[in-house]
Chains A and B, each alone.
Chain A
Amino acid sequence: MKKFGMQAVALLLLACAAGLPAWAVLGQPVQSVEADRAHLKGQIRLIQRQGYSVQRIAAADGGIVREFVSPDGIVFGVAWSGPAAPDLHQLLGAYFSAFQKAARQTQTLRRRRGPLAVQVDGLVVEVGGHMRAYHGRAYVENLIPSNVNQAVVQ
């Protein structure tokens, strides 16, 4: 039993080292918020709102990440601000590659240099700010509780 326990710990460490928990927060169960907290070396505060809740992570670098959770425990939105560029691979999880692809397509004609908004298959990502102060938000339209407006994700 003890040996099994050691193996489990070793496996867990290996999984962490390999990045296997895969962060994956947007669209995932509320438990995945913990992965973000650990990655950001932050502290979580839970805030209850009408029809949803907010997990507010105060990161060690002064940044703030807010994760918006539906009553059935799914993260439907995330908003961030802070001095470092956001790690959207972590915050967007399974939606990251869709965002990355869409962000690339916005630049086929360089009509615009500034804040970026991407909408693809119900995923909305808005990134903005500037060097030393970044901010933005993302949400998945069909995951937003029916009585909640997307504008709360900020």
Chain B
Amino acid sequence: MRRKVLLAAALAATAAAWAGCGGGGSPLPINPPPPVVNNTVPVQVTLGPTGNYVNGLFVTVTICAPGTAQCDTIPNVLVDTGSFGLRILASQTTLNYPQINDSNGNPLGNCGTFADSFVWGPVAAADVILGNEKASSVPIQLIGQGAINGNANFPPPPAACTNSGLPPNDTVQSLGANGILGIGVFRHDCGAGCAPGGASPIPPVYFSCPSTGCTATYVDLADQLQNPVWLFPQDNNGVMVNLPSIPAQGDTTSAGTLTFGIDTQSDNGLGTAQVFTVDSNGEMTTTFKTTTVPSVIDTGSNLLFFLDSATTGLPLCSSNNAFYCPTSTVNLSATNIGAAKETGTVNFSVGDAETLFNSGNAAFNDVGGPSAGSFDWGMPFFFGRKVFFAINTLQTPVGPGPYFAY
């Protein structure tokens, strides 16, 4: 409800601004185009705040107490097109952000589960600013527990959250970042399954957290963590990640841009990019040799994670079986297949991860590791490309999201 009021106010303000621009006596435009704002923020691939991250794509995010000019500027937030919603380590904030409560007045907790870790903490409201784009009063997660910035003591994660068996990422050291900016192809981190009348049993994502402890609960879509991009007043139908090419031995760092909107301004047109529609899981499929598996394109995955050693013929590293270590760099190809049967071949390379990591470089376009039964086009895919992510149901010139395009 509050959001609708805000939206109406924003629209009224836009209309008023246009009336002002028009000069005396000229009629109001019927459909005023959205204001042109700077829709691009710089992103960097660095070793991150811990100095040991590889292929981490980082951005600076400003969050503000809603409706105020009191803000925290948070550098080194991981850009993640494989998740949805903004999560910031509470320890990196200085302000008291209003907690979002359930219908009984108890604080809401969020359990964000990633492939290899989880983050736990309260849901709070903040204005989210990226460059000149601003989303107002967005539910975000403050990662952490205990008393922070004057907020009440927040309970530890309940068993339903820790039963994934995955380790918590609740410090800069364990997360390798100050937060995660989830800007993939969906609007909410959970969606209808976590909303009233949703999945049974209640998904282990949202929890009602009186001081006695937390229990799983359903939460209205409006109070779930939101991909902040779709809440921008303009340039809100998706994002584009643009990184330059880098050499095969890697680079000490790399710098590019994160642009908001798809074909909403002169700088974010699809151009010759090919669209790959994704299914309700946010996935397409990829065929490697004769094996076809579900696949994603994901800045939050730092390497190319695909299939297994037996299928790829790539040996694992002797010191660490989480990476591929071919004796010399291998050139490979795979075919992406969209949910609407769009197809396209991708050529890529995989080198010796151990040797490459030992260079001390932060950016690599040719490091991979196994992921049985799936294909995860992580950060190496992005160098030398413009990659678009269109948000579910939002319109673009080639049709609504969700889709990837590159």
Question: Which residues of A come within 8 Å of B, CB atoms?
Answer: 39-41, 60-62, 83-90, 92, 96, 99-100, 103-104, 106-107, 109-117, 119, 125-135, 137, 151, 154
Contacts and interface: CB of A to CB of B under 8 A. Distances in A.
Which of A106, A113, A151 has the most B CB atoms < 10 Å from its CB? A113
Nearest to A129: B115
A89 B372 contact: no
B151 interface: no
B82 interface: yes
Given A106-B322, A130-B114, A133-B281, A112 B199 contact: no
Given A115-B374, A131-B84, A83 B199 contact: yes
B373 interface: yes
Contact of B372 (A87, A113, A126): A126
Interface stretch (B14-22, B59-67, B294-302): B294-302
Contacts of B294: 133, 135
Interface string B310-339: 100000000011110000000000000000
Contact of A117 (B162, B205, B372): B372
A25 B50 CA distance: 39
B54 A111 contact: yes
Contacts of A60: 199-201
Q: Which 7 A-B pairs have the closest CB atoms?
A: A61-B199, A85-B113, A133-B281, A115-B371, A89-B163, A116-B116, A114-B301
Contact of B305 (A61, A100, A103, A114): A114
Contacts of A125: 165
B204 A84 contact: yes
Interface in B121-176: 159-160, 162-167, 174, 176
Contact of A131 (B82, B160, B162, B323): B82
B373 A135 contact: yes
B139 to A, nearest CB: 15
Contact of A115 (B203, B310, B376): B376
Contacts of B162: 89
Nearest to A63: B199
Nearest to A118: B165
A114 B376 CA distance: 8
Nearest to B373: A154
A101 to B, nearest CB: 9
Given A87-B204, A92-B165, A109-B52, A131 B373 contact: no
Contact of B164 (A85, A107, A112, A151): A85
Given A112-B323, A133-B282, A127 B166 contact: yes
A121 to B, nearest CB: 15
B372 A114 contact: no
A128 B305 CA distance: 10
A132 B305 contact: no
Given A128-B371, A132-B281, A99 B165 contact: yes
A135 B84 CA distance: 18
A107 B52 contact: no
B286 to A, nearest CB: 14
